[in-house]
Structure formats: C-alpha cells, structure tokens
Structure 1
C-alpha cells in the first residue's frame, strides 16, 4: 500500500459529511467514477482518550508519512447496503476520519492523498461526566469553617484537570476569580472524598477546570 498526491484526473472523495446519532457516526460522500473501494481511518485528536473502535486509529510515521496499517477497506457495495460508513464512538474527545479513494486496477492498493483536505472530517464523541459536591461545617463560636470536597468521575482524571478556588464574600465564578489551588493527585474513576480544608467563615469554595477550553471538550463538570 502506498500514497500518491491527487492530480487533475485522480479519483478523489467529494462532499464528505458526518452525522452522529447517539454513539454512532455515519460518514457519507460522493464516490469518484470508476472507483469501487476506499480505505478509511480514524485518529483521536485527544489521543489519550481513544478507547477503541471498529475503525483502527491512523497514526503518522516518524518521517511525517502515514502509517497505513490501521486503514480499513470499505467497498461501494458495503456503502450502498449500509447507507454510508458507520462507526461506533465509544471514547471521549474529538476524532478525525480520513477516507482515501483507491486507484482502480492498480494491483497493490494505491491511495489518493488530497491536499485540500476534502476527504477528511472531524467529529466530537462524548464527554465524560464529572460531578463534585462541597459540604460545609460551621462550628459555633469559631472564625473558621471546614469544607469537604467530593469528586465523582466516569473516567480517571489527571491531577491537572481540576482545581478548587476560594473566594471571600461570594462564590467564585471561575479559576481566576479568587485563590486557585491545584489538586495534588490524580482521580480514579468513581467517587473520591478529599481531606477537609479549613477556610474563613466568609469564604466560599467551588471546583473548576484548570483550562476550560481544553478540558471542556472532554468532560462535563456538574455540581451535585
């Protein structure tokens, strides 16, 4: 199997679209004339969260070329029967699908690389849910109160995903709205209760992503 760059007369994939229904992604495209097969790959853009699929991930070799070992052959007949190409999204994060037309009558597969990217489409998968609870105890006649944080997550989390923020006088609205404290250890899947912390009676604590743009694509953070 080898790749060649698309030329003016090469069979190329056009109008590639994706539709997601639940955890199933369906790809559809316009087939080039005379081509009865394509090769399809999937690559996780958030690679650490790719949890297996019917389509293997496609990676890049050390020289910047394609490692085509994970590409899957798909025929025009299979496409007609299924109404497209269907793949189960059983991970979290984002994925990119690549559909390569195969040169007809070429013996060993010769695949067309399209520099314009019209044979590539990105799709989101699911977001893992993270729930947090904050319990307060206010002892009488003391200037401080204790706060206990509990984190419940569907998948393991690295220690840099979440933080808690303390603010005096009102609830913090984000990681920069108060004093931010990182967590010292990763979280396993399931429920984790953290040691109690002591804060002032007028202090409030909330849990946030350390980087909302980065981690908001992967996780959904919900208060209990």
Structure 2
C-alpha cells in the first residue's frame, strides 16, 4: 500500500458528509468515476483528555501525517450501496476524524489518493463522559471562616487542567470569570476522589467549572450532585 498526492485527473472523494443517530455515524460521499473501492481511517482526536483507547479498526497517524495503513479499512462501492453509506459505531468519548481515500483502480497493490485540501476528511462528536462534583460546607460556631470539601466523581481519568474551582464572596459564582479561580494540582483517576478541606470566609461560595467550557464541554458533562 502506498499514497500519492491528488493530481487534477486523480479520482478524489467529494461531498463527504456525516450523520449521527444514537451511537452510529453514517458517512456518505460522491464516488469518483471508475473507482469501486476506498479505504477508510478513523482517529480519536481527544484520547489524551478522555482516556480513550485506540480500538480495533481505529487508525493512528503515521509519520507523514496520514493514517497508518494497518488501521485502514477497505470498503467497496457494493457495500456502500447495500448499507446506504458507511456505518460505524461511536464507541468512545470525545471527537473522531474520518478520512476516506479513493483507491486507484487496476493498480495491483493498493494506491490511495491523499487530498491535501481535506475534503475527504470529516469530524464528528462521540459520547461525553460524565463528571459529578459535590461541594459540602461546614460552619464552625463562633469562627470567621467555614470549611469546604470538594469531591469529584468521573467515568474516565482527567488531566489536572480540565477542572478548576471558583470562589466568590456574597453569591455562588456563575463561571470561571465570576470570582477567584483555583486550579487543581493533580490529575483525577476514574472513580471518586475526595479533596482535602479548604478554609474560606463565611460569606464565600465555591463551585466547580471547566477551565475551558468550549473545549472540554465537547468531551465531558459536568453535573452537580
């Protein structure tokens, strides 16, 4: 198997789209004339954050930026017609990227056409891992402070930069910009983690947030207990 760069007369994949229903992603595209087979690669984009594994049939990137050929799946035009596209189960967390390579007809060994413009590549979100948190307060009598204990329960391991807690005086904070932000010092393993108690003023309130809601909200669902 080898790759070639797309030339003006090369068969290329066009109008690649994806549709997600439940945990199944369906890819559809316009087949180039004379091409009866393609090779499809799938890459988990957020494995480093979501703790995802490269499952069987999931391709990884080779040194040239393309998919490692061992992870590419052959798919024929006949299979495509029978299924109404290419269907794949989204069994991970985060986002996946699919790349569809046209195979040159009659070339002997598989020769795949790489498209630098990226029109043969599409991304799709998969599932989101649930993160639950609790913030419990204790108010000692006749003292000007209270203690707060945070517990985090997560389905997958979390890097230390995913979450933070925010303290605000007079009301609960509404986001990381609404108070004083405190990062966590260590990553979280899967399961439940109780953090050491912290002392805050009697009029201070604490909540847990994503450090970057746009980025991590695609991977995780943050739920208060």
TM-score of the aligned structures, taking structure 2 as reference length: 0.91
**C-alpha RMSD of matched pairs (Å):** 1.8
Post-superposition Cα deviations, 1:3-62, rounded to whole Å, max 9, x if no partner, equal: 12222322211221111111111111121222111000012222424434453223031x
Counterpart of 1:8 in structure 2 is 8
The range that moved more, 123-132 or 46-55, is 46-55
SS at match of 1:122: strand
Contact 1:132 1:223 in 2 (8 A): yes
What secondary structure is seen at the aligned counterpart in 1 of 2:53?
A: coil
| 1:108-187 superposed matches below 5 A | 108-187=109-188
Asked if structure 2 preserves the Cα contact closer than 8 Å seen for 1:45 and 1:96, the reply is: yes
1:44 aligns with 2:44: yes
> Deviation of residue 67 (structure 1)?
3.2
**CA distance, structure 2, for counterparts of residue 191 and residue 203 of structure 1:** 25
Partner Cα distance (1:170, 1:126) in 2:
33
Are residues 54 and 85 of structure 1, via their aligned partners in 2, closer, same or farther at CA, if it must alter by over 3 Å? farther
Q: Please identify, of 92-101 and 141-150, the stretch whose mean Cα deviation from structure 2 is larger.
A: 141-150
- 8 A contact 2:47–2:53 mirrored in 1: no
Deviates more, 1:71-80 or 1:173-182: 173-182
Looking at structure 1, the residues matched to 10 and 95 of structure 2 have their Cα atoms a distance apart, in angstroms, of: 30
Give the TM-score of the pair, scaled to structure 1: 0.92
State the alpha-carbon separation in 2 of the partners of residues 84 and 52 from structure 1.
Answer: 23
- State the partner residue of 1:55: 57
Q: Distance in 1 between matches of 2:58 and 2:172?
A: 45
State the 1:198 CA deviation.
1.7
Alpha-carbon shift at residue 122 of structure 1 (Å): 1.0
Unaligned runs of 5+ in 2: none
Contact 2:59 2:68 in 1 (8 A): no
In the alignment, is the contact (CA less than 8 A) between 2:44 and 2:54 conserved in 1?
A: no
- SS of 1:55 mapped into structure 2: coil
**Cα drift, residue 65 of structure 1:** 5.6
Task: Tell me how far apart the structure 1 counterparts of residues 33 and 178 of structure 2 sit (CA, whole Å).
Answer: 58
Q: Which runs of 5+ in 1 are unaligned?
A: none
Alignment coverage as a number of residue pairs: 223
After superposition, where does 1:64-143 map in structure 2 within 5 Å? 64=65, 67-143=68-144
User: Contact 2:164/2:211 (CA < 8 Å) preserved in 1?
Assistant: yes
Q: Deviations over 1:157-209 (max 9, x none)?
A: 12221111111111122223222222222212122222222211100001111
Matched, 1:19 2:19: yes
Give 4+ residue runs of structure 1 displaced > 6 Å after superposition. Answer: none
